[in-house]
Amino acid sequence: MADHYFSAEPGSADVRRTVEARIWGREYTFTTATGVFSRDRLDIGTAVLLREVDAPTGSGTFLDLGCGYGPIACALAVETDAVVWAVDVNTRALELTAENAKAAGVADQVHAARPDDVPEDLRFDEIWSNPAIHIGKPELHKMLLRWLERLAPGGVAWFVVGKNLGGDSLQRWLTDQGYPCGRVGSAKGFRVLRATNADPRPS
């Protein structure tokens, strides 16, 4: 079976290269490899997300869900004092994220981890994700609910989803699940969504 970027253990040869990206006014050089998502460039959807949403500030605990080789996680850590958990099922992607965080000078802030290795008691002030739509709607919804349930009261989740891959229906579904969601941007066929946890109860 051919590798998918959501394969836990890519079977392809680990062939590495670098890609350049400009995120929130800063230049980055990321190491990528075969068997990971968008290895040849910063993914268009991710680029749209990072262009349509201003860089956060301050501190807190953030989650980059489906981190790939780590461009979002690294940029979040560079821009803030937050602890950033970069989560992916792909072990090669996690290795690259750790390497890229070190290169960006934020290795102490970025924790690359498989989903089951994230401490259960952690709650996230912000979630950022270009989610793996191609895993199918049932698995996508299951994954999103798993992590949205750990969004701190008043927390914010940012998603980018292709319009033709269900961006508008996902917006409605998130609201129906109790996470009021609005569209904050739309470019190159992608929707940028902002969902919130309005639940006032302590996490």
Q: Which residue ranges form the domains of the chain, and what is each CATH number?
A: 44-196 (3.40.50.150)
162 pLDDT band, cuts 50/70/90, is confident
CA–CA dist 188, 150 (Å, integer): 31
pTM score, whole prediction: 0.89
Contact 34, 12 (CB under 8 A): yes
Residue 169 confidence (pLDDT) above 50: yes
pLDDT of residue 137: 82
Summarize pLDDT for 94-146 with one digit per residue, the tens. 999 999 999 999 999 999 999 999 999 999 999 999 988 777 788 999 999 99
Using only C-alpha atoms, the chain has a radius of gyration, in whole angstroms, of: 16
